[in-house]
Chains A and B, each alone.
Chain A
Amino acid sequence: MNNRFSYQDQRHGAWRRLLCLGLSLLLAEPMLAREVIAIHSTATQVRGADATLSQVTPNTNSGGAATLAVASLNTGGGSNQRAIVEFDLSLLPNVAIKQALLTMHATASGVFGFPRTYGAYGLTSFFRESDVTWNTRVANLGWNAAGGDIGGTATSTAAVPGGISSSTPIQFDITSDVQNWYNGTPNYGTLIKDQTEGLNRGGAVTIFGSRNGTAANAPELDVTFVQNVTNLAAAPGNGTVTVSWGYPTPIGTVNTGENYNGVLILRRANFPVDKGSVPTDTQDPAMCSVVGSGTVVFDNTSLATSFTDDSSDPCGAPTNDTTWFYKVFLRDQKNYYSTQPITNGSVFTEEISGTPSATAANRQNSVWIAATFSTTLAAPSLFPGSIVMAGSQTNLSFGIDAVTGLRKYPPVSLGGPVTGRSPVIDAGDSSLASNVMYVADNDGLVYAIATDTGQILWAVNPTTLTTNGFVGSPSVQVKSFSDSMFTLAHDLLVVGTRNGASTTANRIVGIDGNTGATLWQTIGNAGGVAKMDIISSSPAIDFVNHAVWVTSRSGGATAQPSLWKLNPNTGAVLTTAALGDTDTDPTLSIPGDVLFVANNAGTIFAINPTTAATLKSVAGGDGAIISFPIALGLTSPYTVIFSGQTAVHAMKYDKTANTFTSLWSTTLSGPSAPIGFTGGAKVYVGSADGKIHELDAVTGVDGKQRTANTGQPGIVGDPALDTVLSRIYISTNDQRAYGFTFPF
Chain B
Amino acid sequence: MYTEKRGLARRAWGTGLLSCAVLCLAAGFAACQTGMGSGTGGGGNPPPPTDATISFCDDGEGACMPATSFSVASLRDLVINVNWENLSAGNHTQMVEVLQPGGGLYQASQSSFLVSDASQSSLTTKRTLPVAGAWISQRRMTGEWSVRVSLDGKAITSQTVQINP
Contacts and interface: CB of A to CB of B under 8 A. Distances in A.
Contacts of A184: 108
A185 B132 contact: no
A286 B8 CA distance: 63
Interface in B120-165: 128, 130, 132-135, 137-141, 152-153
Interface stretch (A34-42, A351-359, A371-379): A371-379
Contacts of B138: 583, 624, 626-627
A471 B59 contact: no
Interface in B32-87: 59-60, 76-77
B29 interface: no
B152 A153 contact: yes
Contacts of A394: 105, 107-109
B106 interface: yes
B104 A536 contact: no
Nearest to B138: A626
Contacts of B113: 144-145
A150 B91 contact: yes
A529 B109 CA distance: 35
Given A125-B112, A145-B114, A151 B107 contact: no
Contact of B135 (A153, A375, A553): A375
Interface residues of B, number: 39
A713 B108 contact: no
A722 interface: no
A151 B106 contact: no
Interface in A168-197: 184-185
Contact of B134 (A471, A624, A712): A471
Given A500-B76, A688-B139, A713-B141, A124 B132 contact: no
B110 interface: yes
A395 interface: yes
Interface of A is mostly: loop
B133 to A, nearest CB: 3
Contacts of B106: 374-375, 393, 733
Nearest to A176: B153
Nearest to A416: B109
Given A501-B59, A713-B141, A152 B152 contact: yes
A442 interface: yes
A116 to B, nearest CB: 13
Contacts of B108: 184, 373-374, 393-394
A400 interface: no
Contacts of B104: 375, 712-713, 733-735
Contact of B91 (A111, A152, A185, A416): A152
B27 to A, nearest CB: 19
A151 B93 contact: yes
Given A145-B91, A151-B153, A536 B132 contact: yes
Nearest to A146: B114
B132 A553 contact: yes
A144 B114 contact: yes
B100 A733 contact: yes
A419 interface: yes
Interface in A523-556: 534-537, 553
A7 interface: no
Interface in A376-432: 377, 393-395, 416-417, 419
A715 B111 contact: no
A125 B111 contact: yes
Contacts of B103: 712
B111 A500 contact: no
A375 B152 contact: no
Given A151-B152, A185-B110, A500 B92 contact: no
A375 B112 CA distance: 23
Given A152-B91, A152-B152, A374-B105, A670 B114 contact: no
B47 to A, nearest CB: 14
A713 B102 contact: yes
A375 B107 contact: yes
A469 B129 CA distance: 11
Interface of A: 111-112, 121, 124-125, 144-146, 149-153, 184-185, 373-375, 377, 393-395, 416-417, 419, 442, 469, 471, 498, 500-501, 503, 534-537, 553, 583, 624, 626-627, 645, 670, 672, 688, 712-713, 715, 717, 733-735
7 closest pairs, A vs B, by CB? A536-B133, A145-B114, A151-B93, A500-B77, A149-B112, A583-B133, A393-B107
25 contacts: A112-B8, A124-B93, A124-B112, A125-B111, A149-B91, A151-B91, A151-B153, A152-B90, A374-B107, A375-B106, A375-B135, A377-B139, A393-B107, A394-B105, A417-B109, A500-B76, A500-B132, A553-B132, A583-B138, A626-B139, A672-B139, A688-B139, A712-B104, A713-B104, A713-B141
